[in-house]
Amino acid sequence: MSFELPALPWADDALAPHISAETISYHHGKHHAAYVANLNKAVDGSDLEGKSLEEVILASEGGVFNNAAQVWNHTFYWSSLSPDGGGDPSGDLGAAIDAKFGSADDFRAAFKTAATTQFGSGWAWLIKDGGGVDIVQTANADLPLAHGQSALLTIDVWEHAYYIDYRNARPSYIDTYLEELVNWEFAASNFAG
C-alpha cells in the first residue's frame, strides 16, 4: 500500500483572491506531491510499509519523519482553509477560545504572534489542551501529533505557502488567513472529536 496525494477539499481557484490558483498549484501539486513521493520511496520495503501515516510519523525520524509529517501537515492545512472561512468561532470551541484568550480578537492576536514569530519555516497550531485550547508553534515538519497533542487547525508559514501572493509579507498572509480563510467548522469538528 502506498500513500497517495489527497485531493483538495475545494477547487484550485476557490481561495482566490486571497490565495491564488498558482500558489495552490505549486503548493499542492509540487510541494505536497513531492512529500508523498519521497515518503513512498522511503518506506518501500521497510518495516514501515503498510503502516498508517500516523504510525509512520510516530515510529520514524530524520527524512522519513520529515516527509510523513509534511504529508500529514499539508493535508490538515488544506482542511484548515475554506473559501467561506473567517469570522469568529462559535459553540463549544468559541467558548473554549474565549475562556483561554478572552475573545476571538485576542485569539487572533495571539495566533498571529505565534505564526509571525515562528523563526524560519514551520507552523502555528490551535490545539486541544485538556478541555480547553492553546496555541503552539512547530518548526519545519514538526507537528502536535509527535508531542501527544491534538491539532484543531493550522497555518503553514513556510514561504512556499504565501510567497507568490504575498512575497515576504508573512503578517499580511496571516491576517488574510484569520479574516477570510480559517475553517472554524473543521476546527470545531476536531474539538468535538
pLDDT tens for 78-131 read 999 999 999 999 999 999 999 999 999 999 999 999 999 999 999 999 999 999
**What confidence category does residue 27 fall into, taking pLDDT thresholds of 50, 70 and 90?**
very high
Helix orientation angle between 33-43 and 62-79, rounded to the nearest 10 degrees: 140
12 belongs to a structural domain: no
Residue 69 near residue 143 (C-beta atoms within 8 A): yes
Q: Are residues 100 and 67 in the same domain?
A: no
42 belongs to a structural domain: yes
pLDDT at 193 over 80: yes
For residue 84, what are the CA distances in angstroms to 152, 165, 177, 178?
A: 18, 19, 11, 12
Give the strand pairing for 132-139 and 150-156: unpaired
Q: Are residues 95 and 188 in the same domain?
A: yes
Instruction: For residue 41, give every residue at least 6 positions away whose Cβ sits within 8 Å of its Cβ, in sequence order, or none.
Output: none
Main-chain dihedrals φ then ψ at residue 169, nearest 5 degrees: -90, 65
Q: Which domain holds residue 169?
A: 91-192
Q: Are residues 108 and 164 in the same domain?
A: yes
Rounded-to-integer distance, Cα 53 and Cα 65, Å: 10
Q: Are residues 61 and 98 in the same domain?
A: no
The number of domains in the chain is 2
